[in-house]
Amino acid sequence: MKRCFVAFEVPKATTSQLALTGSPPNGARFVAPDQMHITLHFLGAHSADNVHNAIKDIRATAFTVVMPHTGVFNTPRASVIWAKVDGGDSLIALHRELGSLLGPIGFEPEKRPYSPHLTLARCTPEMSEHTHKEVARQFQPAECVVDQLGVFVSEFQDGVPIYTRVETIILPPS
Sheet holding 79-84, edge to edge: 28-30, 117-123, 79-84, 70-74
Positions marked catalytic: 37, 117
Contact 166, 48 (CB under 8 A): yes
pLDDT recorded at residue 1: 58
Q: Which residues of the chain have pLDDT under 70?
A: 1, 128
pLDDT recorded at residue 42: 92
- pTM here? 0.88
Instruction: Decide: residue 89, CB within 10 A, 0-12 exposed, 13-18 middle, 19+ buried.
Output: exposed
Q: How far apart are CA 40 and CA 102, in angstroms?
A: 12
Q: What angle do CA 55, 61, 62 make, to 5 degrees?
A: 115
| Other Cβ atoms within 10 Å of 167 Cβ, number | 18
pLDDT recorded at residue 18: 82
Domain 3-170 -> CATH class: alpha beta
